[in-house]
Structure 1
Amino acid sequence: MLEELCTCSNTYSKYSHLINPYPENSESEQALINLHQSILIPITNKFGAEKFKLTYGFCSKHLLKFLNHEKSRICVKVDQHIAHERNSKGNYYSKNLGAACDFQIVGVVSTKVIGFLRTLDFDSIYYYGKDRPVHVSWSSTPRRKLWEFTEQNTPRPYSN
């Protein structure tokens, strides 16, 4: 699953010959393993691995360079897609440590997926619409935050 979490993005597919998609920090790798065990395995057990579609996973420092040149909704300082990676000054990119991914369950509305995610040990969930991927993160210190994003990409507390 680590390979899939690191190589599933459209940006990686487009520039794969130029990008190292894997974590440099072992803490990032462990956070991705924890995300997989605590969130993704229960999700695939509940809804079926054949319906699970990962749309975005880990953002390596190399991938980040390409995302900065494309229209991207990733917010490195908040989202945990970059996990525990550090910048050239040795500081974490994200103020929220952990790991995150975006996924869909084919044929299942996102509100139903979120209903199940709420029973798990998640850090944050982002809802973008009933037919859109769901963002979920894992952290060793979970905040248990649920956010809904408007069409203008403005976050507000999840209301369902």
Structure 2
Amino acid sequence: MHQLDQPCSKHFTYRQLIECGETWQSSSIDNLPLDEQSWQALADLATHILDPVYEQFGGLEITYGFCSPSLATARKKLAKEQGVLPSIYPTLDQHSCLEKNKKGDIICPRGGAACDFHVPDTSSLEVTIWLVKQLPFDRLYFYGHDKPIHVSYNSGSQSAAISIMTPKTNGQGYIPRTLSSERFLEQFQL
């Protein structure tokens, strides 16, 4: 059995990846992974993505990490109360790791784990360019210079797909434009 304060990598504990984000902080829902593979996926994400980013840029803040089905429900409820879209897609975004739904199917068949983070006082574009050049990731969503970066890691697949997330004109949701690492670097390299 894993403990929340147990290290999952050189610089991070499981608690930092599980007890984070606005919804968890406002509700303190029991957000523990039930599947052993989810714990391992979080450790892999921290080891292969977060540790190197931390070592390159210094402290980083995880704004959204693991999302259990109960946290996803709470996020949707909070978004409805605030009159906004929940901005979560459990079947696609890998925040649910390898957890299963009520039918016993893996919620996100992509596997792996995801988190959103930002490095204080550093452009997310600078961090993203470094990450794209240096690290093996599965998916990355870039929302803008001053927004958190969504990144996932899957030990079985590093597709290195990058989606540029452009806000819709009505302010509700995003329009993704997916690029290869090469195309992203061609268009956004500093």
- CA shift for structure 1 position 53: 1.1
Distance in 1 of aligned mates of 2:102 and 2:149:
31
Task: Classify the secondary structure of the residue corresponding to 1:68.
Answer: helix
Q: Which residue of 2 aligns with 1:142?
A: 158
**1:43 equivalenced with 2:53 (yes/no):** yes
Identity of matched residues, %: 35
Task: Give deviations 1:89-114, integer Å, cap 9, x for gaps.
Answer: 11011121110000011111111101
Letter paired with 2:89: C
- CA shift for structure 1 position 37: 0.3
Distance in 2 of aligned mates of 1:20 and 1:45:
30
Q: Which residue of 2 aligns with 1:86?
A: 100
Q: Which residue of 1 aligns with 2:77?
A: 69
Distance in 2 of aligned mates of 1:95 and 1:84:
8
TM-score normalized with structure 1 length:
0.94
Distance in 2 of aligned mates of 1:59 and 1:132:
20
Distance in 2 of aligned mates of 1:21 and 1:97:
18
Could you tell me which runs of 5 or more consecutive residues in structure 1 were left unpaired when the two chains were aligned. none
Could you tell me which runs of 5 or more consecutive residues in structure 2 were left unpaired when the two chains were aligned. 1-12, 80-85, 169-173
- Which structure is higher in RCO with an 8 Å CA cutoff and minimum separation 6? 1
Distance in 1 of aligned mates of 2:90 and 2:17:
16
Task: Give deviations 1:92-142, integer Å, cap 9, x for gaps.
Answer: 111211100000111111111011111101111100011100000001211
Letter paired with 1:13: Q
TM-score normalized with structure 2 length:
0.79
Task: Classify the secondary structure of the residue corresponding to 2:117.
Answer: strand
Task: Please show how residues 4-153 of structure 1 align to structure 2 within 5 Å.
Answer: 4-16=16-28, 19-49=29-59, 52-71=60-79, 72-118=86-132, 119-140=134-155, 141-152=157-168, 153=174
Distance in 2 of aligned mates of 1:67 and 1:92:
20
Look at both structures and tell me which one has the larger radius of gyration over its CA atoms: 2
Distance in 2 of aligned mates of 1:79 and 1:126:
10
